[in-house]
Amino acid sequence: MPDPAVWLEAGAKALLYTSLLLLIGANGLRWLLLPRCEEGLGPVRIRQLEPSLARLALRAALCALGACALRVWTHTVSAFGFADANWDNLKLIALQSRWGQSWKLQAAAAVIAVIACAAAGRWRAAWLFETLAVLLFTATIPLLGHAAGDALRVGLHGVHILAAGIWLGSLAVTLLLRISNVERDSAARTATRHIRLTILRQFWPVALPSAATTAVAGLVAAYLYVGTLSNLWTTAYGRMLLLKVALVGAVAGCGFVNWRRLRRTIPNETGSLAIVLLEAFLAVAVVLVTALLTETGHPG
């Protein structure tokens, strides 16, 4: 059983990863999904969705910035213990350690992402700046984990995170997005449901390549980290990795069921979002297991 410091580090990472997936998902929705929905929703509705999307991205960026700040404390606890996690040791970890050099880059990228998301909420033209800021933030994530110091592993982790964000983040953002300019009565709820389902019907051409890229990058990284096949069941890292693979497989299975059901749904039918919600719930479990996995020593 991991000690409390490991759980704290994993919790801070889970918050960071969740925030980043939502940030990537907001951009995936903005650039890849909403243009595909213009025929079904109309250009006016698409433009009405963008401010809500920018607000959601801003909240995610603020959470990411908070997670960065939390990680300094949890890393200090991990290095010195609860009793000695004081201000001096906090400054030592954040400003003078090798880990802190990468952390400062990540924190700066998170600040830039917050500014960019705030700008996107006011000016539609700022979305490009916001997307570049999110890509910059994504590139800093592998610098504080197992991949640090290895260009190949940093690249694999970056691709893995970006593809996962487009796949699972876009799904989560679609479910969380608040549909504005709609009255909150039963007819409006039906209209909101129709909007979400219209977006989800256009999801598979985006989800399929991003899910495949997530899987391929993850498998290559697993090969580098696990070493021999027997390490999958003889080491804690391998067993945790198998749990993650099983959860990702379950998410993919739900995605396949959703694709089959939504493809058959006629335009005026609202259908059920239950399997979509299950897919999102399993995606949260994947993030939690991933956070614990990064706190587990790997054999390779």
**3-state secondary structure labels for all residues of the chain:** CCCHHHHHHHHHHHHHHHHHHHHHHHHHHHHHHHHHHHHHHCHHHHHHHHHHHHHHHHHHHHHHHHHHHHHHHHHHHHHHCCCCCCHHHHHHHHHHCHHHHHHHHHHHHHHHHHHHHHHHHHCHHHHHHHHHHHHHHHHHHHHHCCCCCCHHHHHHHHHHHHHHHHHHHHHHHHHHCCCCCCCCCHHHHHHHHHHHHHHHHCCHHHHHHHHHHHHHHHHHHHHHHHCCCCHHHHCHHHHHHHHHHHHHHHHHHHHHHHHHHHHHCCCCCCCCCHHHHHHHHHHHHHHHHHHHHHCCCCCC
Between 195 and 24, the higher pLDDT residue: 24
The pLDDT of residue 158: 97
The pLDDT of residue 300: 79
**Averaged confidence pLDDT in the chain:** 91
Say how many Å lie between the first and final Cα of the chain, rounded.
22
Residue pair 254/275 in contact (Cβ under 8 Å)? The answer is yes
pTM: 0.95
Residue 180 has pLDDT above 70, yes or no: no
Q: How far apart are CA 274 and CA 277, in angstroms?
A: 5
pLDDT in tens, 207-244: 999 999 999 999 999 999 998 999 999 999 999 999 99
Residue count of the chain: 300
The pLDDT of residue 269: 47
Could you tell me how far CA 238 lies from the centroid of its own chain? Answer: 23
Q: Report the candidate in 82, 50, 52, 63 with the shortest Cα–Cα distance to residue 22.
A: 63
Residue 65 has pLDDT above 80, yes or no: yes
The confidence band for 188, taking pLDDT boundaries of 50, 70 and 90, is: low
Mean pLDDT computed over 186-200: 80
The pLDDT of residue 119: 97
* In the block, residue with structure tokens 């040791």: 89
The pLDDT of residue 192: 81
